Copies of this chain bind each other. A is one copy, B any other.
């Protein structure tokens, strides 16, 4: 928890330090077959062999996956959908159709969010603010992404079989959901830092890591400043899906500002696939990349005491085919969430 002299809510320029922590009651993650063959395979709740989830299209499959993940997270928290006051959710598809059709039968008031691959960070920030503000006893944050749907949405038809440059990332087929509550859980959210749109003018949509790294650097730098912390406060500073290329740029940008995160940095995009074996190139990406890594591996490690605290920084590349085709750059955004193990003696 925060140990500042200034124990107020608003920390510095872009951050909030919660007076009372918000608890993560449960998490769920469901992934597709490729993710299920990767290094994190043992940390997922469910690996689905059929990437369309038995539906007629990737998009419908993604919706089904999101729905199952949300219901599983609620179930793992020993709650019912009617116990959940708000759903903070989003995906990568235009007009959030994966979310819309995924949650429409769950019947929970919805705040639809778009922060590209940073959406789980945005959802956790707003969800934690909502719980901490006393507006809800329990909320769910959920995101999804799908390789097939994302390629169709953003790049080329899969059938075209285009060559992918080594800087490109592979969109994770998966969905992650967390239940937040004011009731005690093993893991807690103690602070957030909200990102701004950062544009370095990079225009290469097949090098998303480079597009997003400046936003991640900006966010991490501001976070440490707002909270008056150094990087060694964290066991891990976890970025979303910068991949190999973006991670290198991130470390360099922060080094230029006198911040060395190399000892604690981990990137979900670099953790989720094994490039040599899986031919994914720079790493994984998509809303689900950081969300399933958080919901599985990272929260497990905190829960079981292997890690005490992390700064979770999912990153988003803010482009569409329209903006790309009209020659616009690809700005980035990142959101920071402080996630810590509950110190049992405190309560």
Contact = CB atoms under 8 A, between A and B. Distances in A.
Contacts of A115: 111-112
A116 interface: yes
A97 B130 contact: no
A5 interface: no
B10 A135 contact: yes
B122 A129 contact: no
The winner among A94, A113, A125 for most chain B CB atoms within 10 A is A94
Given A9-B134, A109-B196, A133-B132, A328 B94 contact: no
Interface stretch (A56-64, A266-274, A292-300): A56-64
B133 A116 contact: no
A199 to B, nearest CB: 5
A278 interface: no
Contacts of A174: none
A101 interface: yes
A67 B210 CA distance: 26
Contacts of A318: 95-97, 100
Given A113-B114, A122-B111, A196-B107, A135 B9 contact: yes
A104 interface: yes
A95 B320 contact: yes
Q: How large, as a class, is the contact surface on chain A? A: 35 or more
Contacts of A134: 9-10, 133
B328 A97 contact: yes
Interface string A63-98: 000000000000000000000011000101111110
Contacts of A153: 94, 322
B107 A320 contact: no
A211 B36 CA distance: 39
A240 interface: no
A17 B175 CA distance: 33
The winner among A56, A90, A114 for most chain B CB atoms within 10 A is A114
A189 interface: no
Contact of A86 (B101, B133, B194, B199): B194
